[in-house]
């Protein structure tokens, strides 16, 4: 089978037999995402350089100076020191061969390593490829590893530990680690100065996963390994208790399970509406004052917290409707959907090696350079240009309310600081366009997941059931099993009878 895709005016030839992947036209530089070739061989031709990629070899791109076209398409099957067949030959195939899962995900070299092999006349041609990247839809964990930069060992080592030693969806360890790093920076009083504003690295996010996805387990592993101690009491149930706790632990993190119930209570319960008012002030870092007979006046100046909400996805949709989601308060959160990985399905790992996981995270965390207290970072001119161009590009394409998009995209400035630190640049006060480009990738996940949630709200109950049965059918097929009505009833609480399960299964099968 021969496929040609036009990239920036040039041709990339992809040859494969029984190739099962599909691709979009290349994405914008700030939307670069990694992918895997699921089977067959692929030949990539770039300005006279022809590269043969083996099955399950990662194709990745670094967004370094993406909009200035100074960074290349990294081919992670190419390495100065390693044979391509030993790098990223794929989790699934490695396990079939009885070997250990490949450890490195982002091994390889970018344009800086490739361009020296090209004639000078071809270097501009290769640079043009930075206008986009082929995105293989059905790639293994593609969206997670597309936001993990090369050399970001804290993220890479931690996520690979969870990939190899657990069946936990990788969105969970990714965003748990980022939120806890945010809390660490808050405690150090690290900040960003941009356009005469002081921006704190306080991130508000909600992770939505299936029941039993080990959300709290993951949070505990990182919290222990990173030695994060500025944590608010998760059992806060009133505005008064919250203010009392915050007065003792400003610049901290609040980790809250069943977060949908909290949002719902702030909407419906008068005694919790006061908490919502306090949170709105904290979001803008405005001074909070509260007076009680018992404690007198409590004042918290320059308040800031990182919030990590955890919730079962289906439960969240039941408790928070579409109108609530696009409400101004709910828009202040980043949303991430963590679905089970098809290659690492739930219950595929009976026992998690907790000691080994924490040892890996601790080792990676201790090696990462940290900033000093009260350190102030600045957005470089090139970083600002990257942010503006990305903002204009994404704001015009997403089917999400404009106010939601604006708030979400502005959070990329805070994520940029996170990337600046994990890339080992804590000693450099300028946040560059590389940091922004990676941050935009991460923010794009939130935008896509909000779009998914809004689509869910628009589905009828029957459409939701049909959609879920379709997913189950694929999951069973990957295990070599045939989905039957009794399997549907066992997995879906919304379907109670054999007749209903049979009818919906017939719809899916006939489709």
**Both 335 and 477 in a single domain?**
no
**Both 80 and 182 in a single domain?**
no
Taking residues 74-89, report their average pLDDT.
31
Taking residues 171-186, report their average pLDDT.
98
**Both 326 and 276 in a single domain?**
yes
Model pLDDT, residue 206: 97
Model pLDDT, residue 49: 31
Q: Report whether pLDDT(235) > 50.
A: yes
Taking residues 240-257, report their average pLDDT.
94
Sign of CA dihedral 500, 503, 509, 511: negative
**Both 480 and 499 in a single domain?**
yes
Cα–Cα dist 142/474, whole Å: 18
**Both 432 and 304 in a single domain?**
yes
Taking residues 199-214, report their average pLDDT.
95
Give the structural domain span for 502: 461-510
Task: Count CB-CB contacts under 10 A for residue 328.
Answer: 10
Model pLDDT, residue 459: 66
Cα–Cα–Cα angle for 377, 218, 101, rounded to 5 degrees: 95
DSSP string, 199-263: E----EEEEEE-TTS-HHHHHHHHHHHHT---B--TT--SHHHHHHHHHHS-SEEEEEESHHHHH
Domain count, the chain: 3
Question: Which of 110, 128, 145 lies at the terminal end of a domain, its last residue?
Answer: 145
Q: Report whether pLDDT(233) > 80.
A: yes
Q: What is the pLDDT of residues 92-121, one digit of tens each?
A: 444 444 444 444 333 332 333 333 333 343
SS3 state of residue 501: helix
**Both 32 and 77 in a single domain?**
yes
Q: Report whether pLDDT(138) > 80.
A: no
Q: Which residues make Cβ contacts (< 8 Å) with residue 33, sequence separation at least 6?
A: 27, 133, 135, 142, 143, 146, 441
Q: Report whether pLDDT(63) > 50.
A: no
- Give the H/E segment covering residue 310: strand 305-312
Cα–Cα dist 203/307, whole Å: 6
Question: Which of 117, 145, 173 lies at the terminal end of a domain, its last residue?
Answer: 145
Q: Report whether pLDDT(189) > 70.
A: yes
Cα–Cα dist 109/79, whole Å: 6
Taking residues 316-329, report their average pLDDT.
83
Q: Helix/strand/coil (H, E, C) string of 146-205?
A: CCCCCCCHHHHHHHHHHHHHCCCCCHHHHHHHHHHHHHHHHHCCCEEEECCEEECCCCEE
Helix 171-187, helix 215-226: angle, nearest 10? 40
**Both 428 and 280 in a single domain?**
yes
Q: What is the pLDDT of residues 17-48, one digit of tens each?
A: 222 222 222 222 233 333 222 222 233 333 33
Q: Helix/strand/coil (H, E, C) string of 386-448?
A: HHHHHHHHHHCCCCCCHHHHHHHHHCHHHHHHHHHHHCCCCCCCEECHHHHHHHHHHHHHHHH
Categorize the per-residue pLDDT at 396 as very low, low, confident or very high, splitting at 50, 70 and 90: low
Q: Report whether pLDDT(85) > 50.
A: no
**Both 44 and 180 in a single domain?**
no
**Both 94 and 79 in a single domain?**
yes
Of 48-57, 164-173, 248-257, the poorest mean pLDDT is in 48-57
What pTM was computed for the model? 0.69
Which pair of structure tokens corresponds to residue 447? Answer: 């935008």
- Give the H/E segment covering residue 88: none
Q: Report whether pLDDT(442) > 60.
A: yes
Taking residues 133-144, report their average pLDDT.
50
**Both 466 and 489 in a single domain?**
yes
Of the two residues 443 and 71, the one the predictor is more confident about is 443
Asked if 472 and 483 touch (Cβ cutoff 8 Å), the reply is yes
Cα–Cα dist 357/218, whole Å: 10
Which pair of structure tokens corresponds to residue 465? Answer: 């059931």
Asked if 205 and 174 touch (Cβ cutoff 8 Å), the reply is no
Of the two residues 378 and 398, the one the predictor is more confident about is 378
**Both 466 and 441 in a single domain?**
no
Taking residues 334-356, report their average pLDDT.
92
Mean pLDDT, the chain, integer: 75
Model pLDDT, residue 11: 35
Categorize the per-residue pLDDT at 141 as very low, low, confident or very high, splitting at 50, 70 and 90: low
Cα–Cα dist 115/381, whole Å: 26
Question: Which of 91, 125, 145 lies at the terminal end of a domain, its last residue?
Answer: 145
């Amino acid at each position: 089978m021969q496929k040609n895709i036009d990239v920036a005016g040039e041709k990339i030839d992809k040859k494969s037999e029984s190739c099962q992947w599909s691709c979009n036209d290349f994405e914008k530089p700030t939307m670069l995402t990694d992918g895997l070739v699921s089977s067959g061989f692929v030949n990539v031709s770039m300005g006279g350089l022809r590269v043969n990629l083996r099955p399950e070899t990662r194709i990745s791109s670094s967004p370094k100076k993406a909009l200035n076209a100074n960074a290349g398409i990294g081919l992670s099957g190419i390495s100065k020191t390693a044979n391509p067949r030993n790098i990223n030959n794929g989790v699934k195939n490695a396990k079939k061969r009885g070997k250990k899962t490949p450890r490195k995900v982002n091994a390889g070299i970018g344009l800086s390593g490739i361009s020296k092999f090209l004639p000078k006349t071809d270097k501009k041609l290769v640079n043009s490829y930075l206008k986009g990247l082929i995105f293989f839809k059905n790639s293994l964990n593609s969206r997670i590893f597309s936001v993990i930069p090369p050399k970001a060992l804290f993220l890479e080592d931690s996520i690979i530990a969870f990939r190899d030693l657990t069946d936990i969806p990788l969105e969970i360890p990714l965003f748990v680690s980022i939120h806890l790093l945010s809390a660490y920076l808050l405690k150090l009083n690290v900040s960003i100065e941009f356009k005469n504003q002081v921006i704190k690295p306080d991130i508000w996010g909600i992770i939505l996963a299936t029941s039993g996805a080990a959300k709290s387990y993951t949070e505990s592993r990182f919290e222990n390994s990173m030695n994060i101690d500025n944590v608010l009491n998760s059992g806060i149930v009133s505005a008064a208790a919250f203010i009392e706790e915050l007065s003792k632990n400003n610049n901290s993190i609040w980790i809250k399970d069943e977060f949908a119930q909290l949002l719902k209570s702030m909407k419906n319960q008068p005694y919790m509406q006061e908490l919502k008012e306090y949170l709105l002030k904290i979001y803008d870092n405005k001074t909070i004052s509260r007076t009680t007979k018992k404690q007198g006046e409590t004042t918290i100046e320059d308040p800031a917290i990182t919030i990590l909400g955890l919730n079962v996805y289906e439960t969240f949709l039941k408790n928070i409707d579409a109108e609530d989601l696009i409400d101004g308060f709910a828009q202040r959160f980043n949303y991430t959907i963590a679905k089970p990985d098809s290659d690492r399905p739930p219950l595929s790992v009976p026992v998690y090696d907790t000691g080994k996981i924490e040892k890996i995270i601790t080792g990676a965390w201790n090696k990462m350079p940290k900033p000093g207290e009260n350190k102030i970072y600045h957005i470089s001119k090139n970083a600002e240009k990257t942010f503006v161009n990305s903002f204009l590009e994404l704001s015009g394409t997403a089917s999400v309310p404009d106010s939601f998009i604006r708030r979400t995209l502005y959070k990329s400035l805070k994520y940029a600081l996170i990337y600046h630190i994990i890339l080992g640049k804590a000693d450099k006060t300028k946040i560059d366009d590389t940091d922004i480009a990676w941050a935009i990738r991460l923010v794009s996940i939130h935008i896509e997941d909000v779009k998914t949630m809004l689509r869910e709200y628009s589905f009828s109950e029957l459409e939701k059931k049909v959609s879920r049965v379709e997913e189950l059918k694929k999951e069973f097929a990957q295990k070599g099993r045939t989905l039957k009505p009794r399997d549907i009833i066992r997995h879906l609480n919304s379907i109670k009878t054999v007749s209903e399960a049979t009818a919906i299964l017939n719809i899916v099968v006939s489709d």
